[in-house]
Amino acid sequence: MLNLSPGPTHIPPFVLRAMNQAPMHHKSAETTAVFGNIFSTLQHVYGTQEPVLVFTGSGTLVGEIAIQQLAQQCSSVLTVSSGRFGQRWTDLCQRYGMKVHCVEAPWGEQPSLQQIHNACEKFQADAFVVVHSETSTGTFQDINAMCETVRAVHPDCFMIVDAITSVLVHEFHMDAWNIDVVLGSTQKGFGSPPGLGFLGVSERFVKELSPTAGLYGNIPLAIEQWHDSQVSFTPALHVLKALEQACEYIEQYSVERMQQRSAYLRDQVHAIVERCGLQVFSKSPANGVTAVQIPNAQAKHVKHNLEQSGILVGGGQDHLAGDIIRIGHMGFCEPRHVAQLIPVLSHCASTIDLSPDRDALMKIAEELLVSPFNDRSIE
């Protein structure tokens, strides 16, 4: 099965092979060296000199850790909801008792900066929570511009960014953009198995943390361990080894080229979709995920047919379940993988009474197969 889902994304064999060994002891010198290498790459990827902490769990876990500790020092928060994950962080802030003002946009769009500015003038916010790449709709949000807009009205506001599907996919600079907390995980742009979450934290955010009685999500305790190239509790060791291999490759291939490859694949997938007679759903498309509008509520039918032909994609979520499919093209997804989508998607389009431009699709396939973004050395 070719994995073109929004995540967990395609994992290359060399990353999988790293898991095929007996686990290290979690406090051994070997594990400390592994963590040291990973921590260095995470800082590089995030664009920061601040700690990027690693927790065993999902991206939602590290998001909850951040919001739980945020709730101890902030009473009000401004959020952006333009998809399922923006809704999730809005709901979580409410669950922790904070007063929440949500700036909403239709799914597949990002709110305007004027909307953000107007919300800031009406609502006193201690923190701003936003998703960089809304995976549920394949939508990019300009978080740098949004954070600057918020900061112009509320200069002391903490900036919390869900970058789970944007690091290594879009340009990202935690320090230069003055972001206080950044969420991430292994199974998206890092092309590794799920199981580890990342939490970048600024010095300003850490200084304002209230004492907590908790252990597992205790950020100051995790930072103490980070300085010793360790984590507080036993990590998912096999996932750790897989991530180490992915990080080694990322450093060699370069962060910038990973981002460029995702952007290139976005453009090619859009061209394929259009030549099949279909439409891209998002009005602000992300680099790592393309949501495809399927006419006449036949998305589940198309998704099933793709899977029957050996291609795994994501379905729509919530009210979009019957209307879109989601194609992932981040991490270790390469042009030659996307080329395999062409005959299958064009056939699916034919079954729902569309007329694919097969000559144009053939030219796209030829370009994808000879693209310099293919790297067969990783197999």
- Please write the tens of the pLDDT for every residue from 324-367: 999 999 999 999 999 999 999 999 999 999 999 999 999 999 99
- 261 and 243 assigned to the same domain: no
**DSSP SS3 for 373:** coil
Last residue of some domain: 231, 252, 273? 252
348 in the same domain as 232? no
- How do residues 284-321 score in pLDDT, each as one tens digit? 999 999 999 999 999 999 999 999 999 999 999 999 99
CATH number at residue 143: 3.40.640.10
Residue 70 has pLDDT above 70, yes or no: yes
Task: Record the pTM.
Answer: 0.96
Which pLDDT value is given to residue 24? 83
Give the model's confidence band at 216: pLDDT under 50 very low, under 70 low, under 90 confident, else very high.
very high
Q: Is the pLDDT of residue 34 over 80?
A: yes
In terms of Cβ atoms closer than 10 Å to its own Cβ (0-12, 13-18, 19+), residue 119 is buried
Q: Does residue 4 fall inside a structural domain? A: no
Residues contacting 60, CB < 8 A, separation 6+: 88, 197
Regarding whether 356 and 220 lie in a shared domain, the answer is no
Q: Is residue 6 one of the residues assigned to a domain?
A: no
> Do the domain assignments include residue 373?
yes
CB atoms within 10 A of CB 283: 12
% of the chain with per-residue pLDDT over 70: 99
Question: Same domain for 135 and 52?
Answer: yes
| Tens digit of each residue's pLDDT (9 = 90 or more) over 141-159 | 999 999 999 999 999 999 9
Tokens of 319: 């009210």
Q: For residue 214, what pLDDT is reported?
A: 83
- Does residue 224 sit in the same domain as residue 265? no
Q: Which domain holds residue 288?
A: 255-378
One domain for residues 41 and 133: yes
Q: What is the mean pLDDT of the chain?
A: 96
Report yes or no on 2 lying in a domain. no
Domain boundary among 221, 252, 283: 252
Instruction: Please check whether residues 245 and 319 belong to one and the same domain.
Output: no
Residue 377 pLDDT: 79
Do 285 and 231 reside in the same domain of the chain? no
The Cα–Cα gap between 258 and 283 comes to: 23
255-275 helix and 358-369 helix, angle to the nearest 10 degrees: 160
**Residue 96 and residue 149 share a domain:** yes
CA distance 108 to 190: 24
Please identify, among 228, 252, 276, the residue that sits at the C-terminal boundary of a domain.
Answer: 252
Count of structural domains within the chain? 2
Task: Note the pLDDT of residue 213.
Answer: 67
For the chain, give me the number of helices (H) and strands (E)? 14, 15
pLDDT digits (tens, 9 = 90+) for 94-128: 999 999 999 999 999 999 999 999 999 999 999 99
- Residues 198, 285: one domain? no
The CATH number for 310's domain is 3.90.1150.10
| 195 and 95 within one domain | yes
Residue 168 CA to residue 172 CA, distance in Å, equals 8
Residue 360 lies in a domain: yes
247 and 348 co-located in one domain = no
pLDDT, position 266: 98
202 located within any domain: yes
**What is the predicted pLDDT for the residue at 201?**
98
In a domain, 119, yes or no: yes
**Is residue 172 situated within a structural domain?**
yes
